[in-house]
Structure 1
Amino acid sequence: MTRGLELSNYVGHLIRRAEQVHTALWVQHVSREITSQQFAVLNALRQEPGIDQRTLAHHTSLDRSTISQMVRRLTHQGYLSQVRDEEDRRRTLLCLTDEGTALLDSLIPAAKRINDQLLESLSEDERILATDILRKTASLDHEPLGGAH
């Protein structure tokens, strides 16, 4: 009979727990109304205004149905505007509204603080290493499964 995994050494469990900690900090210190995923959408549109929904989904690593719901909600709340692409009328381009820009500006300082808080128990070298490892782990979904690493 196989013994169970030691959860304190199981990476999937640790990532899930880290996400729980992040979510709790987000709700407590950043926003109860805007999720960190919605923040990522607003931030991506600040960095690259006028992109379409598919590009936005790629930049934020959100699936198409999630990004569609999120864009609909953020547009309804007045934070995003949608305009038809004059060169390709099938595409809709997205931009932050003035309200969306103001909201993002109000959230950024607290988002930076919780990012620092999540890393505060690590040395500077460990912070860099942890961020690099998470970045590499997060990019695995952009490679074919079972491919050479």
Structure 2
Amino acid sequence: MFNVANVKAAASPDLLTPDNAVMLFVDHQPQMFFGTGSGDRTAIVNATVGLAKAAKAFNVPTVLTTVAAESFSGPILPQLAEVFPGQEIIDRTTMNAWEDNAVVEAIRATGRRKIIISGLWTEVCIVLPVLSALGQGYE
């Protein structure tokens, strides 16, 4: 007879877990909101902060990035930075976050192969680094 108490559940290696994933926030900056006309700014900020707080609560390594913060896009959202006080924010000069060695090295240093990416512009902030990371064997 089958006894459910004797069955040990094994997590699928396909699932995201706090032990196999890294969180990457790309370009959550004031100037980037100009391209987010389909969503309410407050709702986007709240969802982003909620995602950041979840990553922190589950101890998921997190990488914060901006692009041209000093010259064009402005600083990272203060509400996002507040979730990770004192954490380095990688400021890039390239649109594709994966073209910046500091970003790739920060991800690589975690030893994680599954990347959760959050960005304001799907076409640039998310798609470009996703395609590049996939090409290098990341999920």
Q: Which has the higher contact order (CA 8 A, sep 6+)?
A: 2
TM-score (norm 1): 0.28
TM-score (norm 2): 0.29
The answer to which structure has the higher strand fraction is 2
